[in-house]
Structure 1
Amino acid sequence: MDNSQPILIGLSGPSCSGKNTASSILEEYGFYCIDADAVSRRVFVEYENEIFNLFQAEAEKLGIDLKKEKGIDKKAFALFIFSDEALLKKHEDFILPIIEEKIWEEIKKAFAEKPERPILLNAPTLHKTSLIKKCSFILYIDAPFILRLIRAKKRDRLPFKNIRLRFSKQKEFFSQYLFLNADTVVVKNSWSPAKLKDKLLQEVKKRGF
């Protein structure tokens, strides 16, 4: 393998499909794993004032209070931006370039430490960034809708209608990878960690890892 450039592999899929479990499996196998959601959370905190100012007027028009004593009410904010495609795009246009820059910093650091080590980028919205063009291939984790719904309810404690709204925004995720001609491998997750591990390792070993 060419060690002059980072070996980058994408990990994507819809909400609650098991991406974090897959990431943990591959981390144990020897991959360096970057959690784009964790990077996103750090960026959100760092740029919280800018984000609030960006959406304050629109939220007020809808009678929504985004502010809590210690900052933005993240649950209210998520419901707010997922309620409208234009609001979601506005948020992504602001935050995704910053997240991408932070991820590149981490990729370069990991590559400098160990050039031969593959880097796994766990990023639900990978298809919306230029990072996808740098990936050797994409592992797309999918799972039955009902299992995802149950897991989301348990994890996020939101009403089912809000969870379904979030899921509905992700219906075209897989088609976007096809549209971009990304080398995408679908890995079905039946919520058996052992089976998921077998499937993942089978796929990465096929690729020489």
Structure 2
Amino acid sequence: MRKIIGITGGIGTGKSTVSAYLKEQGYPVIDADQIARKVTEKGSVTLAELARNFGTGILDRDGGLDRRRMAELAFSSPENKARLEAIVTARVIAETAERIRELRQEDGPTAFLDAPILYETGADVLVDEVWLITADESVRIRRAAERDGCGEAEIRRRIRNQMSEEEKFCRADYVIDNSDGLEQLYTRIRALIKKHD
């Protein structure tokens, strides 16, 4: 039976970079963000429910989800974040659990679940172990600003609205520091993979 490893980390830690590298190495990766995009696509029941709860201002000109606006609203308060998760999370977890079930029925290399809010949603129960990707806060802020075009205050607010790094550290099986650049990151990933193959 295939082993499933969860990969998680806060904004700007480089979790997606880790997942991309694992895919390049031939490992199956389930992307919870991709599943969330699928369940909130234009015309979906989930998107209609989000619009009822947060207003039509979360929709773009074509009637799809304006993800940046949705993120701004969700991270503006713990209540909004909880409301968003209540609407989207159950659907994402159900789809994720089904994909994991299918992978476990196959023989093959270790598979990975890339989930930014793995612990917050309780999805860590679906995996055998967890790798936490982390980085210095200044590095995280710079990366997120470059990627999303957000200001420092907005990024810091998002970080504060996520589970603390300290709690994730305590719960993770392995911690991968991604403060130093790609070569060091890839070296750390290869060392961990070697333990599992």
Q: Structure 1-normalised TM-score?
A: 0.83
The amino acid that maps onto 2:175 is V
Question: Displacement of 1:204 after TM fit?
Answer: 2.7
Count matched residues. Answer: 193
The amino acid that maps onto 2:51 is F
The answer as to whether partners of 2:129 and 2:173 remain within 8 angstroms in 1 is yes
Match 1:131 to one of 123, 143, 146: 123
Deviates more, 1:158-167 or 1:83-92: 158-167
Residues 1:105 and 2:98 aligned together: yes
Aligned 1:47-58 pairs, distance under 5 A: 47-56=46-55
Question: Displacement of 1:159 after TM fit?
Answer: 2.2
- In the alignment, structure 1 segments of 5+ residues that lack a partner are 60-64
Aligned 1:37-186 pairs, distance under 5 A: 37-45=33-41, 46=44, 47-56=46-55, 65-71=57-63, 72-112=65-105, 114-170=106-162, 172-176=164-168, 178=170, 182-186=171-175
- In the alignment, structure 2 segments of 5+ residues that lack a partner are none
Instruction: Answer with 1 or 2: which has the greater Rg.
Output: 1
CA separation in 2, counterparts of 1:175 and 1:66?
A: 31
Question: Displacement of 1:31 after TM fit?
Answer: 1.9
Match 1:194 to one of 175, 178, 183: 183
SS of equivalent to 1:126: coil
The answer as to whether partners of 1:27 and 1:33 remain within 8 angstroms in 2 is yes
Sequence identity (%): 25
Question: Displacement of 1:183 after TM fit?
Answer: 4.8
CA separation in 1, counterparts of 2:154 and 2:168?
A: 23
CA separation in 2, counterparts of 1:41 and 1:140?
A: 23
CA separation in 1, counterparts of 2:189 and 2:123?
A: 21
SS of equivalent to 2:128: strand
Question: Displacement of 1:192 after TM fit?
Answer: 2.1
SS of equivalent to 1:52: helix
Match 1:203 to one of 173, 192, 196: 192
Who is 1:62 aligned against? Answer: none
SS of equivalent to 2:108: coil
